[in-house]
Amino acid sequence: MKLLEEVQLKLVANLKGQDLLTLLDYSSDDVQQLIELAAQLKFLTKEGKCPQLLVGKTLGMIFEKHSTRTRISFEVGMNQLGGKGMYMHARDLQIGRGESIYDTAHVLSGYLDGIMIRANSHEMVKELAEHAAIPVINGLTDLYHPCQALADVLTIAEHKGHLQGLKIAYVGDGNNVAHSLVVAAAHVGMHVAVATPVGYECDATIIAKAQAIATANGSTITITNDPVEAVLQADAIYADVWTSMGQEDETAKRLQDFVGYQINDELVAHAKPDYMFLHCLPAHREEEVATSVIDGPNSYIFEQAENRLHAQKAVLASILA
């Protein structure tokens, strides 16, 4: 418990009252300590001793997009820390009928202690955070998924015992999950390789910012169109769906464009024998990943999903406590 208190006190000093829109806004020290705190909170929760750090606090949770892991993990996380999570779908709020972001931010600031939002537009979330007097947490936007990335690196740390110098390969669409994974890996000193089809690469500006972080931490970022190059000697391999929510009209084209990017037994043979397979879920078996891989002995997808809960508790405790 003493270790938990030491980490928590340091995090409060740095992050109390701060937004979490992207991990680019956090220092590498902050990210590493969030992971340590998440591990401590997970241990204490399993022991039935999760500290009641958020008694009397209420987190408003706004959803423009449907969710399983984000909604449940944030709501349960608030409950385990002694607070309350309040689910609000955007269509049920006045924001869904045209009330301005400015007005919504000011109104919610008078009711809540924090806002978590899962939205379509990152610019909209930035505007909400600009006008809110309370912390805003990005539960997912078109550009970033920071809470997912924290759970990802926590899962790797648990099973590998360290993060510095490990290699993670992401194969698929250069989307919000890929962006946040690259940034998180850079913060913890992991080498990261991203393989996408031509035309589906990550945002170059985001990669450049992550590269500066990686260089400072002694790691590298490789961007390629070759899946074999990406997974070569990888300690972890990561996949996401080829067609994300809201892109359904592109499904046929994407299925064609992503031929050769499935993570299957032939591809993972180029990784280290004890590689970890990760996926943010939901997954489409036999599309982005073969069933033999996602349900095989190297798959850690369900522990990764559970770790959303503990990583988010570390964020909530640090920002709201």
User: Residues forming the annotated binding site for carbamoyl phosphate?
Assistant: 67-70, 94, 118, 145-148, 280-281, 308
- Binding site: what residues are annotated? 67-70, 94, 118, 145-148, 176, 240, 244-245, 280-281, 308
Catalytic annotation present for 145: yes
* Active-site residue, from 32, 33, 118, 279: 118
Q: Which residue has the tokens 């709201």?
A: 320
Three-state SS sequence of 267-306: HHCCCCCCCEEEECCCCCECCCECHHHHCCCCECHHHHHH
Which one is catalytic: 8, 40, 148, 304?
148
> Which residue is catalytic, options 145, 179, 191, 310?
145
Which residue is catalytic, options 254, 279, 308, 310?
A: 308
Identify the helix (H) or strand (E) that includes residue 60: strand 58-63
Which among 8, 240, 262, 304 is annotated as catalytic? 240
71 included as an active-site residue: no
Q: In what order do the strands lie in the sheet with 58-63?
A: 84-89, 58-63, 114-118, 136-140
Q: Which residues are annotated as a binding site for L-ornithine?
A: 176, 240, 244-245
Helix 28-46 vs helix 146-160: angle between axes, to the nearest 10 degrees?
70
DSSP for 148-190, written as a single string: HHHHHHHHHHHHHS--TT-EEEEES--SHHHHHHHHHHHHTT-
Helix 146-160 vs helix 176-187: angle between axes, to the nearest 10 degrees?
50
Encoding tokens for residue 130?
Answer: 């600009």
Active site residues: 118, 145, 148, 240, 280, 308
